[in-house]
Amino acid sequence: MVEGSIAFVLKPPSNFELVYEGQPRTTPIPFVIADAGGQFSALEDAIKEGNKDRVADITGRVLMNLDAFYGDYNYPTDIKTTKAMFKLYKADIDPKFLPDIYAFIDKKFKGDIDRFVDDLFARSLFVTPEKLKAFLAKPDLKTLQKDPALVASKSISAVGRTLQQDLAAFNADLSKGQRTYLAGVMEYAPDKTQYPDANFTMRLTYGKVQDYYPQDAVHYNWYTTLDGVIKKYKPADYEFDLPQRLIDLYNKKEFGRYASPEGYMPVCFITNNDITGGNSGSPVINGNGELIGLAFDGNWEAMTGNIAFEPDLQRCICVDIRYVLWIMDVYAGAGHLLKEMDIRQ
């Protein structure tokens, strides 16, 4: 790949969601708790209603997908995640927005979140497929309603519903303003082709791999290398720490077949494609239809893009696919995954 190469960015619809009982699961909460609130609140309602067909339908679908459900589930990781997220939420959020599960933690566990989570995972029927299968064989309301994961999930969801209701009026005003703004834009430039929003639409844009000059005497090259990653290395730093194995591979220059012809390990490149929220992860394709990278960010000067596109300044930042493959193959030792791919040199 060289400067001036054609780059196509395929921008898929964003906001892909897992859907349970018609409700999207987008809440960033741990697996077991999110799972309890997704499938099993609906099961609770069905049992309350005495709707045996609906109970059978829900339990049947859960059992059918059970292996996939727990296929890569890691019990210790979920415990750590749950503890960390409960602590972060309590530390960072105004107390008036805390779900009432925190009052329960304060009362029964004297505010000890670790003890609460350990107890939840020890007692919840959702933590193992064996426990869940045993319950689904003969589901009963009392067991379900007492499950600590479901109790926590419902507490969190209740706050979410309240906040959504509070935001409804603001969102309505925002939508009205956006329609007015868009109408003005179209009236101002009636002959201009207006491409759709990146969210909820599939579209293809094209551009070139290209450097830029943000201001006088300042030049940003069109690519970055692993040299720059190493130079930014700061041990124990949140943003710039690096695993020792990556440093060792760099020092030995073990780049395999993924190094550039000049010998450096490419990391990122920039194009003059547009990019906006929802585009991250979009495939970047060259003129031959080959994947050369993944779009994931915009440069600082691109922050004006929501108002006006500035061709001389705005760039789309993409991770070079050679770096992705090097991480998979050489760094992570997952070369078997590349056997499923058609790799072009």
Sequence-ordered alpha helix ranges (H) in 189-282:
226-231, 244-252
The domain boundary, picked from 101, 131, 165, lies at 165
Asked whether residue 26 falls in the same domain as residue 161, the answer is yes
Asked whether residue 285 falls in the same domain as residue 146, the answer is no
Angstrom distance (rounded) from CA 204 to CA 42: 39
Asked whether residue 160 falls in the same domain as residue 240, the answer is no
pLDDT score of 311:
86
The domain boundary, picked from 165, 183, 201, lies at 165
Asked whether residue 131 falls in the same domain as residue 260, the answer is no
pLDDT score of 5:
55
Tokens 């697996």 label which residue? Answer: 31
- Backbone dihedral region of 50: left (phi > 0), alpha (psi from -120 to 50 degrees) or beta? left
Asked whether residue 241 falls in the same domain as residue 144, the answer is no
- 117 assigned to some structural domain: yes
- 147 assigned to some structural domain: yes
Asked whether residue 127 falls in the same domain as residue 218, the answer is no
Asked whether residue 26 falls in the same domain as residue 160, the answer is yes
- 177 assigned to some structural domain: no
- 183 assigned to some structural domain: no
Q: For residue 287, give the CATH number of its domain.
A: 2.40.10
Which residues are CB-neighbours of 208 under 8 A, at least 6 positions away? 4, 5, 6, 7, 271, 272
Closest Cα partner for 221 from 317, 322, 345?
317
- 103 assigned to some structural domain: yes
**pLDDT tens, per residue, the chain with 345 residues:** 655 555 555 554 433 232 223 333 333 345 667 666 566 888 888 899 999 999 999 888 888 877 776 777 788 888 998 999 999 999 998 999 999 999 999 999 999 999 999 999 999 988 888 888 999 899 989 999 999 988 998 898 889 889 888 888 888 999 999 899 989 989 998 998 877 666 667 778 889 999 999 999 999 999 999 999 999 999 988 889 999 999 999 999 999 999 999 999 999 999 998 887 778 889 999 988 999 999 999 998 887 776 778 888 999 999 999 999 999 999 999 999 998 888 887
pLDDT score of 32:
65
Instruction: Take residue 319 and report the two structure tokens written for it.
Output: 């991770």
pLDDT score of 105:
96
Asked whether residue 217 falls in the same domain as residue 300, the answer is yes
The domain boundary, picked from 104, 138, 165, lies at 165
Asked whether residue 138 falls in the same domain as residue 240, the answer is no
Domain count of the chain?
2
- 345 assigned to some structural domain: no
Sheet holding 316-320, edge to edge: 203-208, 6-11, 283-285, 291-298, 316-320, 266-271, 223-225
Instruction: Take residue 338 and report the two structure tokens written for it.
Output: 């590349």
pLDDT score of 22:
32
pTM of the model: 0.54
DSSP-derived secondary structure letter, 112: -
pLDDT score of 19:
29
pLDDT score of 24:
31
Asked whether residue 92 falls in the same domain as residue 24, the answer is yes
Supply φ then ψ for residue 239, to 5 degrees.
-95, -35
Asked whether residue 49 falls in the same domain as residue 154, the answer is yes
- 189 assigned to some structural domain: no
Cβ atoms of 126 and 149 within 8 Å: the answer is yes
Residue 68 structural domain: 18-165
- 126 assigned to some structural domain: yes
Asked whether residue 145 falls in the same domain as residue 27, the answer is yes
pLDDT score of 29:
43
